[in-house]
Amino acid sequence: MTLLALSCTLIFVFITMFVSFWKRLGLEKSIAIGSIRAAVQLLAIGYVLQYVFQTEHVAFIILIIAIMTVVATWNASRRGAGLKGVFWRIALTIGVMEAFMILFLIGLNLIEPTPQYIIPLSGMTIGNAMIVSGLFTTSIKREVEASRGEIETLLSLGASGTQAMQGPMKRAVKFSMIPTIDSLKTVGLVQLPGMMTGMIIAGADPVEAVRYQLLILFSHTGSAAMTSMILSMLYQKLFFTPDARLRKIERS
């Protein structure tokens, strides 16, 4: 794709800004900043990846994955404002998920152990875990606030903290899984996934592209379920005082 052709796609950004201006939505500045940031970030990562792919040095792979994990954790943990210790819990979950997924895929020879495979797949795995972590954190906070009566009723009946939190945790896990399950059900009918589309446009065999997409979809579904399950275990004590009273969540 030539730079001129790429520049032409800015028309879509201008259309969006025009609609915002016309309808007085006040989004022009955000759209402009967002578009510039997206372009700079993607171009930068393009050059970085080009260099890393050429050198194939393992330290660069680890560094990039570490940066991805920290940024994803920071973003998802903002949903947990008012809860202490959310950042480290999400970081641990994303780190464990990433290590498990990549080692699993390499171990089964599903991908080659090269930066070209590891970095994009890590990006997708970490991004997916970030979305699930953010949704789970938002949902469990809301559930605990809305279900204080239910939780304290169970505690009053002699339930342990884990037993009392079972209902809210179950509902939060289900909520965080909704986008993953929905995309699994509608993929190919409503949307052609980005990675598969990219491979086809780049000239790959569509069936080969589908195989990789299925790999991604299934691994994402597994990682989404595991992310929310791990978080539900790690979050258990966040909502209770050391002497097992239900904590009041500080307003952020």
Partner 1 sequence: MNALLEIRGLSKRIPSARESSGERVLLHKIDAVIREPESIAIMGGSGQGKSTLLRILACLDSADEGDMYVRGASCSSMEPAKWRSQVCYVAQHAVMLPGSVEDNLRTVSRLHGTVYEQPLAERLMKQSGLDHIPMKGPAGDLSGGEKQRLALIRSLMLRPAVLLLDEVTASLDAISGRLVEDILLEWHREEGAALVWVTHHADQASRAASRIWTLKDGTLTDSELSCESGISDETAGSVRER
CA distance 76 to 169: 18
Judged by CB under 8 A, does residue 30 bind partner 1? no
Judged by CB under 8 A, does residue 41 bind partner 1? no
Number of neighbours of residue 53 by Cβ within 10 angstroms: 13
Judged by CB under 8 A, does residue 152 bind partner 1? yes
Judged by CB under 8 A, does residue 155 bind partner 1? yes
Identify which of 39, 109, 96 has the alpha carbon closest to the alpha carbon of residue 223: 96
By beta-carbon proximity to partner 1, the closer residue of 105 and 169 is 169
Judged by CB under 8 A, does residue 158 bind partner 1? yes
CA distance 158 to 152: 10
Assess contact for 228 and 176: CB atoms under 8 A.
Answer: yes
Phi then psi for 192, rounded to 5 degrees?
-100, 120
Identify which of 232, 245, 244, 209 has the alpha carbon closest to the alpha carbon of residue 93: 232
Closest approach of partner 1 to the CB of residue 157, in Å: 6
Per CB under 8 A, which region of 18-26, 157-165, 175-183, 231-239 contacts partner 1? 157-165
Judged by CB under 8 A, does residue 244 bind partner 1? yes
By beta-carbon proximity to partner 1, the closer residue of 116 and 160 is 160
Per CB under 8 A, which region of 27-35, 97-105, 204-212, 241-249 contacts partner 1? 241-249
CA distance 248 to 82: 9
Closest approach of partner 1 to the CB of residue 101, in Å: 34
Closest approach of partner 1 to the CB of residue 168, in Å: 11
Angstrom distances, CA of residue 224 to CA of 97, 173, 179, 231, 243: 9, 9, 10, 11, 32
Judged by CB under 8 A, does residue 157 bind partner 1? yes
Judged by CB under 8 A, does residue 236 bind partner 1? no
Q: Give Cα 124 to chain centroid, integer Å.
A: 8
Judged by CB under 8 A, does residue 241 bind partner 1? yes
Torsion angle defined by CA atoms of residues 164, 166, 167 and 169, in that order, rounded to the nearest 10 degrees: 120
By rule CB under 8 A, what count of residues binds partner 1? 18
Dump strand ranges (E) for the chain.
none
Assess contact for 77 and 90: CB atoms under 8 A.
Answer: yes
By beta-carbon proximity to partner 1, the closer residue of 28 and 150 is 150
Per CB under 8 A, which region of 28-36, 37-45, 156-164, 220-228 contacts partner 1? 156-164
Judged by CB under 8 A, does residue 160 bind partner 1? yes
Q: Which residues contact partner 1 (rule: CB under 8 A)? A: 149-150, 152-160, 163, 167, 241, 243-246
